[in-house]
């Protein structure tokens, strides 16, 4: 049986993740409060941020930016799309 969580992003109960998606306390917070569906939304948004901002995720500044955006997207007011972004 799938693990259920109350997803703070979707604002409803949904299927929880099978493992911590990120290390440390932030990963535990995500595991406890974010659904698989919401995490998939973040991964798609993160991919767009990496591509549009031409980020290299192994660079410390890029990682710090992505972590800050992840927290805003999942738990805050949302992460902004780059001004130049044009959806297909």
CATH assignment of the domain containing 12: 1.10.3880.10
Residue 84 Cα distances to 29, 74, 78, 80, angstroms:
32, 23, 18, 11
3-state secondary structure at position 54: coil
| Beta strand segments in the chain, E | 4-7, 12-15
3-state secondary structure at position 16: strand
Return the closest-CA partner of residue 9 out of 48, 39, 51: 39
Using CA atoms, how far apart are residues 28 and 19, in angstroms rounded to an integer? 9
pLDDT tens for 69-79 read: 999 999 987 76
Q: 23: domain range?
A: 4-75
More confident residue, 77 or 8: 8
The total number of structural domains that make up the chain: 1
pLDDT tens for 34-50 read: 999 999 999 999 999 99
pTM for the whole thing? 0.86
């Amino acid at each position: 049986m799938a693990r259920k969580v109350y997803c703070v992003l979707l604002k409803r109960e949904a299927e929880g993740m099978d493992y911590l998606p990120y290390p440390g306390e932030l990963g535990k917070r995500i595991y406890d409060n974010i659904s698989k569906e919401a995490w998939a939304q973040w991964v798609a948004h993160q991919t767009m941020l990496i591509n549009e901002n031409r980020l290299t995720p192994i660079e410390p500044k890029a990682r710090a930016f992505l972590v800050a955006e992840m927290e805003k997207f999942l738990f805050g007011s949302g992460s902004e799309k780059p001004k130049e972004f044009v959806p297909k």
